[in-house]
Structure 1
Amino acid sequence: MSASVPVPYQLSIPPTSEVPPFPPVHVRGARWRPGRAGRRRHRPAVAAGLVLTAAALAVAVPSSGAGGGPEPPHAAASPGGRADASAAPVSAPVRIADAGAVRLLRPGDRVDVVAARADGGPGVRVLASGARVASVPKPRPTLGQGGDIGETSTTGGALVVLTVERTTAARLAGAGAASRLAVTVW
């Protein structure tokens, strides 16, 4: 059983031909500028813009030393002629009591470090305000904990490295030995 297929209509296709010549098309209002001659007029404005941009970036972005990282600010000289070493930023490892809170931190975050009494009594004090987080521990899976960070015991907490002034680092080290430390994120 073969069904008859109707023959399609004869389509008329025009014969092929060449495109006729026509004059060039110009956009109204635009002037023809030969090669580099038109660009020379804008060079001073572009150069001035680049100079202003470079100056703004030089002021806004802190300079980097030979090591590629940001330089610590220079310490001010004390009246005795020595530089004040307590104002220089240092890296301070701090054990935070709640490992779950450390999991929320990222390098570069600003935090306040708060000390609570180890016996749970009243009294809380802020040890460091606006400390920058330098590094946090990498997550690692532990048995029964589902990937907690650092030590997962209730007394262990997790270690975080903060960038603070030397005097603040000494306060953090002393308080970490006698009390439980917590962080609040800015």
Structure 2
Amino acid sequence: MRPRGGRWRLRRAARRHRRRLAAVLALASAAVAFAVPRGERTDLSTPAAAAAREGPSAPARDEARVLAPVRIADAEAVRLLRPGDRVDVLAATAASTAGTSGAEARPARVVARRARVADVPEQPPAEDVARTSAHGALLVLSVPPGTAAALAGAAATADLAVTRW
């Protein structure tokens, strides 16, 4: 003999306390996630997981990327960069150029945001640094094709500078 309604007692309790049960399960899964060492976690190679790892401003995985070589005016700033770094590329007209044309100097504009440094070509030997630093240094960036076109256009009319994230 069974008590009346005993068969459904667990289901009724779960229905009544489903928010508490969901919170407890969420906390338990978070505790398990933090308890497992980082190297032993499985890497999800889905596009959504890759976007979550990269951050909100990361490009979609299916977006085409091209390598764009750009000459940065400050050669010493380029020496601080390594492949994999994220940089913003700024275009600024030189004050001397703006002064000769009669126009006022404009603030620098951002041409590329969070571009990934693909390569920093080897710098010249120390005796050639003084000669080549006047012309800046080369930097290879991985950017979308539209941004590569904007970089090429900006390099033709302005000096380029980088800020590192």
Give the TM-score normalised by structure 2: 0.57
Larger Rg: 1
**What is residue 58 of structure 1 aligned with on the other side?**
44
**What is residue 93 of structure 1 aligned with on the other side?**
69
Of structures 1 and 2, the one with the larger relative CO (CA 8 A, separation 6+) is 2
**What is residue 152 of structure 1 aligned with on the other side?**
132
**What is residue 91 of structure 2 aligned with on the other side?**
115
Deviation of the 1:144 alpha carbon: 6.6
**What is residue 20 of structure 1 aligned with on the other side?**
none
Deviation of the 1:135 alpha carbon: 0.2
Q: Structure 1 residues 90 and 124 mapped into 2: Cα distance closer, same or farther (>3 Å)?
A: same
Select the structure that is richer in helix: 2
The answer to whether residue 81 in structure 2 is matched with residue 105 in structure 1 is: yes
Structure 2 residue corresponding to 1:162, chosen from 141, 146, 156:
141
Which amino acid in 1 is paired with 2:122? K
Deviation of the 1:143 alpha carbon: 1.8
Give the gaps of 5 or more residues in structure 2: 1-35, 51-59, 99-104
Give the TM-score normalised by structure 1: 0.51
Which amino acid in 2 is paired with 1:183? V
Deviation of the 1:166 alpha carbon: 0.6
Aligned residue for 2:142, secondary structure, equals: strand
**What is residue 125 of structure 2 aligned with on the other side?**
141
Aligned residue for 2:125, secondary structure, equals: coil
Which amino acid in 1 is paired with 2:139? V
Give identity over the alignment, percent.
53
Alignment map for 1:43-54 (pairs within 5 Å): none
Write the deviation string for residues 11-34 of structure 1: whole angstroms up to 9, x where unpaired. xxxxxxxxxxxxxxxxxxxxxxxx
Counterpart Cα distance in 2 of 1:128 and 1:144: 30
